Amino acid sequence: MRLAQLTDIHLPIPSAPTASELLGKRLFGYLSWTRNRKYRHRLDPLERIVADCRQAAPALTVISGDLINISLQSEFSAALQWLGNHFEYSQVAYCPGNHDAYVRTPWHTGLGLLSPYMSGERDGGPQVRAPRGPEDFPFVRKIGALSVVLANSSPPTLPCLATGRLGSAQIDAIGRTLSAQGAAGQCRILVLHHPLTDEAAPRRKALDDRKALRSVVHDAGVELVLHGHTHWPVWASVQTRDGPRPVVGGGSASHPTAHGKYRPARYNLFSIEGDAAAGWRIEVEARELDPASGEVKTAERRILLSPQK
């Protein structure tokens, strides 16, 4: 089974915001976009990455946050159209990033527009439904023996902050969900925007309750954790009752070139096989844009998890 991860897409702001839309935190974000971010996130490399991802035909593509920039209604509408132009609802599972929740917005004109891509099993029941609000997480998307658990780590924050928080209710629900899916023999993959490790992000961008999340993940167990947020690749691990398990942070899918720790546009393609009895084997192929040729190539391969011998 193949699973793809795209993250930190940052689609272009479709039109200049009005003065009233730029009150408060959005002003700082818009200035950052016009001065820097619109040059660091481009549509052409993103389209090449998405085309390569679609050709690989994964069973599911997860988008681990930051589709947009400053949470304008026009951005959500454009993101919905972009997703619809590239993916079927059943092909994508999305969880919000801090830029998708940049400021508090009405659900029905903001994140709620993307609800079809956040549909899944909730509340421990088998019924698949869309979220009713930003607190209606986590949800589970099942593909065969694979259970992808997606969380919302991105409440609106004050200016100059990009911190994340899950809250105790969601963390408890994540633990129950991971435990239940593990008891059912499923391969469990937890997806959120903010990293749960300490070293991946500075204080003003970190997940505030990551220690509590790690405690729950340790007790419940997990096979793989995916996140975005950093814009560069992260390879780490988290300790569970079954031993260390891989944590993978994706690089941005829309960078035109490399810059320091930042890589050109890339995505991760995971291959998963095995079962709960024999153990799971997870490999990853990082696919990356070659800015010189415009081709998307394999940048690296890693074996993330192997069955215990």
Tokens 């930190």: give the residue: 8
Chain CA centroid to CA 100, Å: 11
* pLDDT single digits (tens) 276-295: 999 999 999 999 999 999 99
Tell me the domain boundaries of the chain.
2-305
* pLDDT single digits (tens) 188-245: 999 999 999 999 999 999 999 999 999 999 999 999 999 999 999 999 999 999 999 9
Q: In the CATH hierarchy, which fold is given to the domain comprising 2-305?
A: Purple Acid Phosphatase; chain A, domain 2 (3.60.21)
Q: How many CB atoms lie within 10 A of CB 216?
A: 20
User: Does the model's pTM come out above 0.95?
Assistant: yes
Q: How far is CA 3 from CA 61, 112, 148, 283, in A?
A: 6, 25, 10, 10
Question: Alpha-carbon distance 153 to 175, whole Å?
Answer: 15
Nearest to 175 by CA among 165, 162, 166: 166
Question: Taking the alpha carbons of 250, 45, 259, 283 in that order, is the dihedral positive or negative?
Answer: positive
Phi-psi region of 123 (alpha: psi -120 to 50; beta: other; left: phi over 0): left
Chain CA centroid to CA 207, Å: 14
Contact yes or no for 92/63 (Cβ under 8 A): yes
State the pLDDT confidence band at 125, using cuts at 50, 70 and 90.
confident
* pLDDT single digits (tens) 77-123: 999 999 999 999 899 999 999 999 999 999 999 999 999 999 999 98
Tokens 């956040």: give the residue: 118
Question: Alpha-carbon distance 91 to 22, whole Å?
Answer: 34
| Residue 126 confidence (pLDDT) | 82
Share of the chain above pLDDT 90, in %: 96
Nearest to 152 by CA among 87, 101, 90: 101
Q: Which two tokens stand for residue 189?
A: 């993959």
| Residue 280 confidence (pLDDT) | 97
Q: Which two tokens stand for residue 192?
A: 């959120």
Q: How far is CA 204 from CA 52, 70, 98, 161, 250, in A?
A: 34, 17, 12, 5, 19
| Residue 287 confidence (pLDDT) | 98
